[in-house]
Structure 1
Amino acid sequence: MTTAEYDEYVAYSRQHFEEGLIRAGYIEGDTGWRGTIAHPGGATDVVISFRARFPFQPPRVVPIDPDSVVWSWHRELDGALCLVAEDDHDDLWWTEASAFLEHVTAWFEQADAGWPNDRPDLDLERYFHPSEDQRLYLYDDLAGYPNGFVRFRPSSNNTMRIGSGTRPPKASKHSKDRFGYVADLGDIDVPPRSWQDVAVRIAPDVDLDRRIRNYLVDIVVLIYRRGIHDGAIVLEVWPTEDGGTAVRRLRAAADTTAAKTARAGVVAPLLHGARVAIVGVGALGSFTADLLVRAGIRHLTLVDDDIVMPGNLIRHLVGPEMVGLPKVTAVKRHLVARHEIAADDIEELGEAVSSGDFAMELLASHDLVVDTSADFATTALLHVSAGSARKQIISASIQNDGAAYRVDLLPPPEGADPLPSSRADVDEQPPAVFEAGCGSPISPTPPHVAVEAASATVRHVIGLLIERPVHLSGEVRNLVDPARTAQ
């Protein structure tokens, strides 16, 4: 689409919407299109205006009399109606005026009914203007500071971190620390939009207004609840010349285990107790380990007898600071440093799986063994041992120089056919590249294939651990190789 075509599309969308408003009886004015929404609770005059990014953003609707509509979590700070959730942006449906007006009418119907079955969004931040302070304020478990005083100290990466403390009587004017108070507002039915709204919910014996006037408190952390969900907001406060209190919201986030694992997936809690062994922590195995920890696995055994070489890094999880370390040590250090997993929960076994006894011990002491060794003898040994132990392993490998990957569940359950062979004879091989110390060519598999194969492997691992296998035998995926198709 050219710039001219884009401009034409935007202009047409706006004209089409305006024509729909005219048909509905709306009249254009200085601030937008004025009309009336009829609903069970009566009729409300509104103004509809276009946002700067229309049609890619829905129009804005504001009651002409802001207080004629009950304030709720479905209003913006300026009184506009919250009409479209962030997860409801499919198909730009609001570009049809008739559909949009029906949606506005439905909003008023829900408001008249008191928003039954309302989902408890924790977005109190949008009811306060942002501070000019661009630092990120990090807090841990606020239950440790119930209705207490706190101190935020500068930390790395332009952050401020919470701790206990009050401003000393003779605090240095050059101190970069900021002092505050944590207040629990309890359940909030209507969002506060000013300091007055906040102050009436705080226990009066705190005398917070006096502390703010005397510059003893300039940060207020609010804990609140909606339904079963807990929220928090960090506000910057200061006294005004007329004896009031000004307030702005600060950029803040929880730095807790719960916050850092909330996006791990709905099955993550089911995986916390599982024990998984990964045999081979090269490119595929290292990313598999990383994704498993991110998914919720908290007990890992890493098995590999190799060390990290400079040439490994382009396809490996770890960085150049790990060169020379055993791969199991390097991967463990990476996982512990970057994820919520304790060092004691990752076991290093710097040896190859070269005996049946070792294989059987791994199978007996783990819920699942994942073979990413890319070594036929290791895979065969684990396969036979798993059959003897009446257990399954997952074997994942990248084949055909990165043109395919496969994930096998071995042995397949009774009645399931094993995956067919996926090795291909390629007529035109790329020029082989050899490296000193290697008796065979270096694999030209690109890094993204290792990550993609690891993702597929983890999907099957999770499926087996929660007893919902993705496929009884596994999967084979043939990939398009841009390097070959370009020739």
Structure 2
Amino acid sequence: MTRAWERELTAEREVFRRVLARADFTGEDDTLRGPLRWYRCGGEAVTATIEVTMTAAYPFAPPQVRVLDAGIPLTPTFHRERDGALCLWPADTPVENAPWCDPARLLRRVAAWLRQTEAGWPGDSACDLERYLPAAGGIVLYDLVSLATVHGCVRTRATPDSRCVTITGKAQAPPVRPNRRHRGTPTIGRRHRHLAWVADIGEVTRPIEDWASLRPLLGGDAGQIGWLIGAGVVEYLVLRYRRGSSSGLLALTARPSATRRASIEIQACEAADTSVPTRLLRAGTATAELADRRVAVVGAGAVGSFVADLLFRQGVRKMTLFDGQLLRPGNLVRHLAGEPWVGHPKVVAVTGRLADLGFDTTGVDPRHDRLTTPEQAVTLLRKHDLVVDATGDARASALLAWAGSTVQRSVITVCVERHGGIIRVDRFPLRGSEQHHPPVPGGRGDQITEHGCDDPVSLTPPASVIAAAQLACRAAIDDLTRECALPATLLEVIEPQEAPDDVRGLNLADSRPGKHV
């Protein structure tokens, strides 16, 4: 029995097929062939023959289109797959009202592709040369900043399973190529193995599909590079290149051909830049501003560990972590750190996890200590632009709120209530006529204890912990960037409670009469 959604998709495909049939396309099943009239750069009309295939992914992906006969001698270059299918739309083209579902628009797009191919894709700046080569497994890592001016042989470093290879940028002189008088093969030592050759091949006007198409781009170094690959010295090629207004980097594996004598096989590697600018691309727009802010996170437990992680990811590099407890196995289900950090101070475990992100953590100060005295609190506030209180301890929270008001430095307190059903974030001191939201009524409720630990354990689930950290981070960024757009209290209902907290969602209402955010 055919299901309703299958009937809908079948009907949509049938409409597409009928429209193409009216344009003289013929064929069986999901593949149709037919004529396409397009205009050359000089204005001459030409008729091509193309093949259109609705794949299983249609209509959520474009149909595959191949040019069987362009109508003129035409060599495909860019914007195509290795199997000959045309790349007609960017991968991020919205599926809603997908342009490829309109056969007329599809044919116009193919005609434009043919015209652009004949013209050599003027102004095109897509840096995707790896798509035209067979793919190698694993990933190659490089620091674009350190390789910007490097040319020649450099060392590499691989993981034990060779799935990840790092181009170190450290120069290594290659062995000397023997001249014609010396026919013997030179001895290749360990320091001359697994090297990479880094070069700038300039503007690329045609795809690189094999060694024959790459060799001319290597210029006068081509002969030496070929010999080094054949001798087993160079295993990777790292090539900087340009296309239009953009620059790219192509990482290749290179080895002697197993089937063709005196030939070289190249494959494209997935490559990734490890430099700090690239690592920060996804960190948000406030990264540069946050780099100079000093933040203390008091409490490196469940919520505090994720608060520190989020702030660090968004650009805060000067951070003090304050907590007096060790990480226990029972903490792990709600904590940023994992099993290898059990038994370490929580502040050390969090610092270790921050270091795993690949950024400099020398500005992170892990203090394995408890905050108990007014002097400690005042000193901490004076040395930081903001203190985040994630202790979940009423005494510590009261102490920090008092210190914030005393020295006029910002304190943000975050806590989860009702076993994670409500998240609350308060900022101290108040600004102007601000007021905090009234306390949420109700006690701590049922709690349990862990064997070997006198402290009560809340039943807050991990999702509420992470949501609390996110809300605290939002308030912290608002204060650190001086946007001051958020009220003194943020209250988020995760699980509906009694009125007035019986509706899920974030309450951004300011307590001042008539004031809303």
Q: Is the TM-score greater than 0.5?
A: yes
| 1:56–1:92 contact (8 Å) kept in structure 2 | no
SS at match of 2:134: coil
Q: Distance in 2 between matches of 1:458 and 1:230?
A: 35
Contact 2:81 2:131 (8 Å CA) reproduced: yes
Does 2:72 correspond to 1:55? no
Which residue in the other structure is 1:451 paired with? Answer: 466
Question: Per-residue deviation at 1:13?
Answer: 3.1
Tell me the residue number matched to 1:287: 306
- Separation in 2 of the partners of 1:307 and 1:440? 13
Structure 1 counterpart of 2:269: 250
Give how far 1:436 is off. 4.8
Instruction: Name the structure 2 match of 1:322.
Output: 341
TM-score by length of structure 2 reads: 0.79
Q: What TM-score do you get using the length of structure 1 for normalisation?
A: 0.83
Q: Which runs of 5+ in 2 are unaligned?
A: 177-185, 503-517
Indicate the residue corresponding to 2:187 in structure 1. 170
Which residue is 1:395 aligned to?
A: 413
Show the 5 A alignment for 1:30-41: 32-38=32-38, 41=41
Q: Equivalent of 2:134, from 113, 117, 129?
A: 129
Q: Is the 8 A contact 1:77 1:128 kept in 2?
A: yes
Q: Who is 2:209 aligned against?
A: 193
* Cα distance in 2 for residues equivalent to 1:416 and 1:108: 64
Cα 1:456–1:35 change in 2 (3 A) is farther
Q: Give the secondary structure class of the aligned counterpart of 1:458.
A: helix
The alignment yields a C-alpha RMSD, in angstroms, of 3.6
Residue number in structure 2 paired with 1:16: 15
Could you tell me which of 425, 436, 441 is aligned with 1:407? 425
Spell out, residue by residue over 1:168-222, the C-alpha distance to the aligned partner (whole angstroms, 9 max, x if none): 93237x9995344222112435443333332222221452344445555443221
Give 1:113 shift. Answer: 8.5
Q: Is residue 475 of structure 2 the alignment partner of residue 475 of structure 1?
A: no
Relative distance call for 1:216 and 1:432 in structure 2 (3 A) is closer
SS class of match (1:292): helix
1:81-115 alpha-carbon deviations (Å, 9 max, x no partner):
32222222432623343454455456567778886
Secondary structure of the 1:204 match is helix
1:360–1:385 Cα contact (<8 Å) kept: yes
Q: Render the CA deviation track for 1:316-349: whole Å, top value 9, x for unaligned.
A: 122233333322222223322x123444311123
- The structure richer in helix per residue is 1
| CA-to-aligned-CA distance 1:387-433 (integer Å, 9 cap, x gap) | 3333322221111111011222223432444334344579xx6x642
Alpha-carbon separation, structure 1, partners of 2:84 and 2:148: 36
| 8 Å Cα contact 1:187/1:224 also seen in 2 | yes
The corresponding residue for 2:394 is: 376
Matched, 1:385 2:406: no
Deviation at 1:455, TM superposition (A): 1.8
**Cα drift, residue 147 of structure 1:** 2.3
Q: Secondary structure of the equivalent of 2:362?
A: helix
Contact 1:281/1:302 (8 A) holds in 2: yes
Stretch moving more, 61-70 or 453-462: 61-70
* Structure 2 residue 477 is matched with structure 1 residue 462: yes
Quick check: 2:188–2:233 contact (8 Å CA) kept in 1?
no
Structure-1 separation of matches of 2:2 and 2:389: 52
Identical amino acids, percent of aligned pairs: 30
Distance 2:294 2:399 in 1: 20
Provide structure 1 residue ranges, at least 5 long, that are not aligned to the other structure: none
Deviates more, 1:339-348 or 1:446-455: 339-348
User: Using the alignment, how far apart are the partners of 1:218 and 1:435 within structure 2?
Assistant: 55
For the residues of structure 2 that align with 1:359 and 1:18, how far apart are their CA atoms? 73
Q: Which amino acid aligns with 1:460?
A: A
Q: Give 2:495's aligned amino acid.
A: V
Question: Cα gap change, 1:232/1:17 in structure 2, threshold over 3 Å: closer, same or farther?
Answer: same
Determine if the alignment matches structure 1 residue 334 to structure 2 residue 353.
yes
In structure 1, the partner of 2:101 is 95
Aligned to 1:27: 26
8 Å contact from structure 1 (residues 154, 177) kept in 2: no
**Which residue matches 1:221?**
238
Q: Does 1:351 align with 2:369?
A: yes
| CA distance 1:181–1:440, shift in 2 (3 Å) | closer
